[in-house]
Amino acid sequence: MIGLASASGDGRASEIAGSELLEAAKAVLDANWVGRSTVPSRDLYPHQWSWDSAFVAIGRSWYDQERAQAELESLFAGQWSDGRVPHIVFNPDVPADAYFPGPTFWRSSDVPDSPVRLETSGLVQPPLHAWAVLEVHDRASDPSAARAFLERMYPKLVAWHRYLLEHRDPERIGLAAILHPWESGLDNSPAWEDALRHIDIPAGLLPAYERRDLVNADPADRPTDAAYDRFVYLADAYRGGRYDDGRICRMSPFVIVGPLVNALLIRSSLALAAIAELLGDDPEPHRGAASAIRHAMKEHLWDPQHARYYSPNLKRGQLMREASILSFMPLLDPGLSAQGVQAIVRDLSAPCFHPPEAAQHYLVPSYDLTGELFDPRRYWRGPVWINTDWLVWRGLLQHGQVDLAAHVADSTIELVRRSGFREYFDPFSGAGYGSGDFAWTAALVIDVIERGRP
C-alpha cells in the first residue's frame, strides 16, 4: 500500500531493501539512546525533547517495548506540578553549555512548580503524547506490563491536557495557545513571520547570548540571527515572569492558536478516551473535550474565504494567512468534516505543495513552494521533514486518502534512501540537511515500513 514495492518494481528486492532500511533505522535509534531516553541527534540536540521522544517511542514500540515505555516515562519525570510537560528535559551528565539555551538559561529549579531533581525548559511542545502512549501499549506483547504502563501514564496525561486547556486558553475560546515559536515544533516557519515582525525588542531587554546551534550546523540551514534574537527575547520574558502563563498571556506579543497543537490535542484526547476505557475509567470527558476542540477550531481557525485552517494571533486579533504544512494538520482529527478533508486534499495536491509529476520533487514541503518566504534548505521554510510527513500520512490514511498517503510514504522512504536519516530534506533535489542520524527520521521510517507490511 505504501508503494515500497513500486519504488523498485520487484517485490522481493524491495522487501530486502525495506528490511535493510529497517535495520539501519534501528541502529540510529540505538546509537542515540542515552540510558533512559533518546537524543534527537548526538551533535545538535544532546538532551531529551518532548515531541521527539513521542515520535521515537512510536517507532521503537515495533521492536523494543521496554525502551519505548522508558522514553515516555523519562520525559514525564520532567513534568511540572501544574501539568506542563517541558519541551526539553536536560541530561545532567551533559555540559551546561552543550546546547543553548541550556539549563542555566531556563533556571527551572527557581520555580516551585518544576520537578525537584531535574532541570527542564519552561516551554512545551505539541501534545502527541497520549496518542504515543496508546500506540506503544497496543503493540506490547506483555499485557500486564502494558496495563501497568497505562496506569502510570494516564493521570500524567490527564494533567498535561488539563494544563493546556486551563493555562493556555487566555480568551476562553476552548483552544490551546502557544507562547513561543519553539512551542510550535516548526520554530522557524513563515507561519509566525507576521507575529515576529511586530516584535520590537526594547533597548536593553535582549540578554547577551551565544548561539550554539551554528557550531554544528550550516548557518544557511538555520534560523537567522534576527529570528533568534526574538526567540531569546520571548523565552527570557517568560522566564522573567517565572513561567506564569496568565501574566505572559497578558503581556506577550506572541500568543498564537494553531492547527497542529489543537488537532493533536483532539487526536490525543481520543487516545485518552481509549486509555480510560481500557482502565475502566469514564471516556466521555475526553470525547467531549475532543469534540469541543473540533468545534472551536472550525469557529476560530477556519477561513471560509480560502477554505483553509490558519493560525490566529490573539494579540493582533487576526488570522495569519501563510500557506504552510500546518494547515494540513486538521487531518489528524478523525472527526474532521468531509468538507475539511476535501479542502486539505485539494491544497496538498496543488502545485504549491505538489508540482506536476514531471518536475522532480518530494512530499510534503513545509511551506508553499511558490511563497515569497520559501527557502528549500532553511529550517522549516520549505524543506521536507519526516515528522510532518508522518503526521500528514497518518491523517490521510485515517480519512481513506490512500493514494495521496502512498505518495507521501514513498517520498519519505525515497528521501531517506537517497540522503540518509537526515533532519530534513530539499523538496526538489532530495539533498539532506541539518543533523545526520536524526532520531525521529529513523523512528518514523520504522513505523512507515512496519505499517505498510501486508
Residues marked active site are found at 187, 423
Amino acid identity for residue 356 in this structure: P
- Cβ count within 10 A of residue 363: 23
Q: What is the dihedral of CA 270, 275, 280, 286, to 10 degrees?
A: -30
Grid coordinates representing 392 are 500528514
- Judged by CB under 6 A, the residue of 2, 25, 32, 51 near ligand 2M8 is 51
User: Nearest to residue 153, comparing CAs of 71, 261, 87, 86?
Assistant: 71
40 binds ligand 2M8 (CB under 6 A): yes
106 binds ligand 2M8 (CB under 6 A): no
Measured CA to CA, the distance from residue 46 to residue 90 in angstroms comes to 8
Number of H helices, E strands in the chain: 18, 10
Q: Could you tell me the CA-to-CA distances from 156 to 51, 69, 83, 139, 266 in Å, in that order?
A: 16, 14, 7, 21, 17
Q: Of 49-57, 301-309, 333-341, 360-368, which part binds ligand 2M8 (CB under 6 A)? A: 49-57
Amino acid identity for residue 133 in this structure: V
Q: How far is the CB of 382 from ligand 2M8 (least distance, A)?
A: 14
Q: Of 46-54, 200-208, 304-312, 316-324, which part binds ligand 2M8 (CB under 6 A)? A: 46-54
Residue 172 per-residue DSSP state: -
362 binds ligand 2M8 (CB under 6 A): no
Among residues 55 and 154, whose Cβ is nearest to ligand 2M8? 55
Buried b (16+ CB within 10 A) or exposed e, 116-143: eebbbbbbbbbbbbbbbbbbbbeebeee
# residues contacting ligand 2M8 (CB under 6 A): 10
Q: How far is the CB of 99 from ligand 2M8 (least distance, A)?
A: 7
185 binds ligand 2M8 (CB under 6 A): yes
46 binds ligand 2M8 (CB under 6 A): no
- Judged by CB under 6 A, the residue of 43, 64, 82, 187 near ligand 2M8 is 187
Among residues 75 and 290, whose Cβ is nearest to ligand 2M8? 75
Q: Of 45-53, 66-74, 282-290, 347-355, which part binds ligand 2M8 (CB under 6 A)? A: 45-53
- Judged by CB under 6 A, the residue of 55, 154, 182, 425 near ligand 2M8 is 182
Q: Are 423 and 441 in contact (CB under 8 A)?
A: yes
382 binds ligand 2M8 (CB under 6 A): no
Beta strand 432-433 pairing with 88-89:
unpaired
Residue 223 per-residue DSSP state: P
Q: Of 44-52, 151-159, 233-241, 350-358, which part binds ligand 2M8 (CB under 6 A)? A: 44-52
Residues in contact with ligand 2M8, shown as a per-residue x/- string from 212 to 231 under the rule CB under 6 A: -x------------------
Q: Could you tell me the CA-to-CA distances from 335 to 183, 250, 271, 295 in Å, in that order?
A: 25, 33, 13, 10
Among residues 220 and 279, whose Cβ is nearest to ligand 2M8? 220
Amino acid identity for residue 75 in this structure: L
**Which residues here bind ligand 2M8, judged by CB under 6 A?**
40, 45, 49, 51-52, 87, 182, 185, 187, 213
